[in-house]
Amino acid sequence: MRFAATHIGIVLSYPGTGHIAFGGGGDKPCGGDAGVVDMVFPIFRRLLRDRETASEAGAPFRPQHIVATVALALLLAACGRGDDRPPPRPVGAKPVTLNLPTSRDTQACFADLSREQVRYSPLPDRDYGGGCQVTGSVQLIDIGVPVTNLKGMRCGLARTFVAWTRHAVAPAARQILGSDLVRVESFGTYACRNVIGSATAGNRLSGHAIANAVDISGFVLADGRRITVLDGWRSGDADVREFLQAIHASACKRFGTVLSPDYNAAHANHLHLEDDHARFCR
């Protein structure tokens, strides 16, 4: 309980500082062996068990259960946000270049890209106002297959995207469609906007606003075929459907959030791939 209460202090300071560096820090605030969530969950589970035991015995519900629940909810809500970013500036503020030190996770990510023989250039950290920030990001230059419309993307997203393209999309094209992948088409990465296409999420910043999401719209094969999400998702060609289902399933194992035409009409023509650890696959 003391532990949970300690973290309420941290969580409540979140909107003011916008900066939580618990657990491993860097791009994966909730990951790592010593992540706070890993530590809080057992406590929370114990409290819940206590509560069930107490209610079975007719004992009154104790307020600390509510406090613990709220603390955990706030903590989980804070986890979606990358943590190497400064507090958001007002909407409409002039874009500024930030002088942030490169976080250790970002440095490790750059090293991973280099090891995978990806050509990229690190981008300066920029704050566009209204919570739209591009930090720890890269411009991918050559990942082995051309990708259209890629702008800055957070390094962790770039790393996962490269792995998905190389180890899921290219092999699936060869195995299911019998032709090599020669181009990936995207609708882009960074866009300073809210989530679209959902009645409940319209006031929430999109993963694109922090360059942490990419929208993939199609694939061109060596035999000249162009497979688009729009035409292919419910195509009469079973192989095309199987290809798109296979790369969607692989994306769900690699990215935090994957949205397809099955999710809503706003995603009829692309796959939304986001590196947010949300484990949301539609």
Contact residues: Zn ion, CB under 5 A? 213, 215, 272
Report the nearest approach of Zn ion to the CB of residue 204 (Å): 13
**Which residues does 186 contact at the CB level (< 8 Å), separation at least 6?**
147, 148, 149, 150, 214, 215, 216, 217, 270
Report the nearest approach of Zn ion to the CB of residue 150 (Å): 13
Minimum CB distance to Zn ion smaller for 83 or for 276: 276
Q: How far is CA 101 from the centre of its chain?
A: 22
Minimum CB distance to Zn ion smaller for 11 or for 276: 276
Minimum CB distance to Zn ion smaller for 103 or for 206: 206
Minimum CB distance to Zn ion smaller for 174 or for 277: 277
Dist. CA 85–CA 73, nearest whole Å: 21
Give the dihedral of Cα atoms 52, 54, 56, 57; nearest 10 deg. 170
Report the nearest approach of Zn ion to the CB of residue 187 (Å): 7
Minimum CB distance to Zn ion smaller for 105 or for 215: 215
Report the nearest approach of Zn ion to the CB of residue 17 (Å): 28
Minimum CB distance to Zn ion smaller for 125 or for 276: 276
Minimum CB distance to Zn ion smaller for 248 or for 272: 272
CB-based contact 186:148 (threshold 8 Å): yes
Buried b / exposed e over 38-58, threshold 16 CB at 10 Å, is eebeebbeebeeebeeeeeee
Dist. CA 191–CA 189, nearest whole Å: 7
Select from 31, 21, 16, 208 the least CA-distant residue to 103.
Answer: 21
The two three-digit tokens of residue 122, written as one number: 């690190």
Report the nearest approach of Zn ion to the CB of residue 196 (Å): 8
**Shortest-Cβ-distance residue relative to Zn ion:** 272
Dist. CA 137–CA 156, nearest whole Å: 8
Report the nearest approach of Zn ion to the CB of residue 188 (Å): 9
Report the nearest approach of Zn ion to the CB of residue 241 (Å): 22
Dist. CA 243–CA 232, nearest whole Å: 9
- DSSP 8-state class, residue 27: T
Dist. CA 60–CA 133, nearest whole Å: 47
Minimum CB distance to Zn ion smaller for 143 or for 273: 273
Report the nearest approach of Zn ion to the CB of residue 153 (Å): 12
